[in-house]
Amino acid sequence: MTIQLETIPLGKTDVRVTPLGLGVWQWGDTMMWGYGKSYGDADLRPVYDATLAAGINFIDTAEIYGRGRSETVVGGFMRDTQTRDQIVLATKFAPLPWRWGGGSLLNALHNSLNRLGVSKVDLYQVHFPYSLISVETWANALADAVQQGLTRTVGVSNYNVQQTMRAHAALAKRGVPLASNQVEYSLLDRKPETSGLMKVCGELGVTIIAYSPIAKGILTGKYTPDNVPPGRRSRQYNREYLSKVQPLIGLMKEVGQGHAGKTPSQVALNWVMCKGAVPIPGAKNLRQAQENFGALGWKLSEDEVAALEKASAQVSSN
Ligand SMILES: NC(=O)c1ccc[n+]([C@@H]2O[C@H](COP(=O)([O-])OP(=O)(O)OC[C@H]3O[C@@H](n4cnc5c(N)ncnc54)[C@H](OP(=O)(O)O)[C@@H]3O)[C@@H](O)[C@H]2O)c1
């Protein structure tokens, strides 16, 4: 049986997403996450099934995740289960240095649609700004994609305040709303608050989608000074950094106890939702996914949010 969750609109569009989604960078990426080594498609299919069973409808991928593999994996699961209509499907265009004009965005979108096995996506995002090509060039190409029926809505990612305002204005001239800006946001990275981005997005009616909402696993509490994360993550999250994070993790455990034993991951994700952003945690297996889904259906109090932010200010780099 599928659970019926509340949904919220993506920006000022009629596309509605659950307050928490699923990010699938892990579904194909070997370099950062070890796909095909420590886990594979047999672990991921149960995550896909459990996501839908939990009533979650929002899945975020990108053409560069595993060089297209992530889109192929999601597309395969959708096809095998005939569940395309249950998903708000988001993917992204990477403005790589050799991509010069709007035509390259439309070509990339056609390739994504082929890998996903669909005729249109629900949200198409520019993955990051690229200084040599104007914000307006990509915004116009996004508007073309909407007009050609290749995507229902459009968004950006990693855009700062100025870039977001410019993209919003360029799209508005074409009659297309900017639905979302996907940025890093968690108790360990609060730049969207301090930079003014959340305020501006609120004013413009642009949804903030929060990536790395559990700080790539750090806010689960499983990594400690004596157990640093493997691979590339250990550069940013080294022994010294992890020592500084421990008081925050301790508070998250304490706060979670007051909510029938919620875990630090669930507290981290609930905090993002309390701030009005849509977290899209990644998961490599069913256990991780199900734990993350437990962030839904309850709410931190205002005092708890304030206490977590006070502890986060001791560690957060922003
Ligand atoms: N737009 C962008 O530029 C951008 C950038 C980054 C990410 N994203 C998107 O955002 C999504 C999420 O961000 P993210 O993957 O960087 O970070 P995240 O969601 O904060 O962390 C995901 C990782 O944490 C660990 N984990 C997750 N749930 C867990 C649990 N319950 N218990 C224990 N460990 C758990 C897993 O790694 P281990 O098991 O290896 O610890 C997992 O791969 C991505 O999938 C992608 O869709 C977008």
What is the DSSP annotation of 15-58? Answer: -EE-SS-EE-TTTT--TTT-BTTTB-HHHHHHHHHHHHHTT--E
Looking at residue 291, its pLDDT comes to 98
Average pLDDT rounded to a whole number, residues 214-234: 96
How much of the chain exceeds pLDDT 70, in percent? 99
- 267 Cβ inside 6 Å of ligand 1: no
The Cα 259–Cα 294 span in angstroms is 11
Q: Measured between alpha carbons, how far is 7 from 187 in angstroms, rounded to an integer?
A: 24
Task: Report the pLDDT value the prediction gives residue 317, as an integer from 0 to 100.
Answer: 65
Q: List for the chain the helix, strand, coil content (%; round to 5).
A: 45, 15, 40
What CATH number does the domain located at 8-217+275-299 have? Answer: 3.20.20.100
65 is catalytic: yes
Q: Is the CB of 232 under 6 A from ligand 1?
A: no
- Dihedrals phi, psi of 301, to nearest 5 degrees: -80, 165
For residue 281, report the distance from its CA to the centre of ligand 1, in Å: 5
Does residue 20 carry a pLDDT above 70?
yes
- Read off φ and ψ for residue 243, nearest 5 degrees: -65, -40
Which one is catalytic: 35, 39, 65, 185? 65
Sign (positive or negative) of CA dihedral 147, 278, 131, 64? negative
Q: Is the CB of 211 under 6 A from ligand 1?
A: yes
Specify burial of residue 181 (Cβ count, 10 A radius: 0-12, 13-18, 19+).
buried
Rounded to whole angstroms, how far apart are CA atoms 291 and 268? 12
Could you tell which of 17, 22, 24, 26 is best to mutate to test the pocket of ligand 1, judged by most ligand atoms within 8 Å of the CB?
26
Does residue 95 carry a pLDDT above 90? yes
Closest Cα to atom 19 of ligand 1: 281
| Statement: residue 200 has pLDDT above 90 | yes
Residue nearest to atom 48 of ligand 1 (CA): 211
Distance CA 110, CA 101 (A): 15
Q: What is the pLDDT of residues 113-168, one digit of tens each?
A: 999 999 999 999 999 998 889 999 999 999 999 999 999 999 999 999 999 999 99
Rounded to whole angstroms, the Cα distance separating 58 from 164 reads: 22
Q: Measured between alpha carbons, how far is 26 from 231 in angstroms, rounded to an integer? A: 14
Q: Has residue 63 got a pLDDT over 80?
A: yes
- Dihedral sign, Cα of residue 249, residue 254, residue 258, residue 261: positive
- Ligand 1 pocket test, pick from 284, 285, 290, 292 with the greatest ligand atom count within 8 Å of Cβ, gives 284
What is the predicted pLDDT for the residue at 14?
98
280 touches ligand 1 (CB under 6 Å): yes
- The beta strands (E) that lie in the chain are given as 8-9, 16-17, 22-23, 58-60, 88-93, 121-126, 151-157, 178-184, 207-211, 278-279
Task: Measure CA 116 to chain center.
Answer: 18
Q: Any idea what the Cα angle at residue 148 is, between residues 145 and 149, rounded to 5°?
A: 90
Q: Is the CB of 123 under 6 A from ligand 1?
A: no
Which pLDDT score is estimated for 44?
Answer: 98
Q: What percent of the chain has pLDDT over 90?
A: 96
Q: Is 210 in the pocket of ligand 1 (CB under 6 A)?
A: no
What is the residue-wise DSSP string for 231-262? TTHHHHS-HHHHHHHHHHHHHHHHHHHTTTS-
User: What's the whole-number mean pLDDT along residues 191-204?
Assistant: 98
**Secondary structure (3-state) at 282:** strand
pLDDT given for residue 1 in this prediction:
63
Q: How many helices (H) and strands (E) does the chain have?
A: 12, 10
From 212, 223, 272, the mutation candidate for ligand 1 (largest count of ligand atoms within 8 A of CB) is 212
Is the CB of 33 inside a 6 Å radius of any atom of ligand 1? Answer: yes
pLDDT in the model for residue 3: 79
What single-letter amino acid sits at 24? V
Stretch 309-314: mean pLDDT? 96
Tell me how far the alpha carbon of residue 285 lies from the centroid of ligand 1, in angstroms. Answer: 12
CA of 216 to the centre of ligand 1 (A): 5
> Does residue 283 line the site of ligand 1, with CB under 6 A?
yes
**Average pLDDT value for residue range 256-273:** 98
Question: Residue 244 C-alpha to ligand 1 middle, in angstroms?
Answer: 21
What does DSSP assign to residue 86? G
Position 316 pLDDT exceeds 80: no
pLDDT score, position 131: 80
Distance 38 CA to ligand 1 centre (A): 15
What pLDDT sits at residue 318?
A: 66
Q: What is the mean pLDDT of residues 271-285?
A: 98
CA of 24 to the centre of ligand 1 (A): 8
Mean pLDDT, the chain, integer: 97
Nearest to 202 by CA among 153, 275, 127: 275
Q: Is the CB of 153 under 6 A from ligand 1?
A: no
pLDDT attached to residue 99: 94
For the CA of 215, the closest atom of ligand 1 is 20
What average pLDDT does the segment 105-110 reach? 98
Q: Phi then psi for 211, rounded to 5 degrees? A: -95, 165
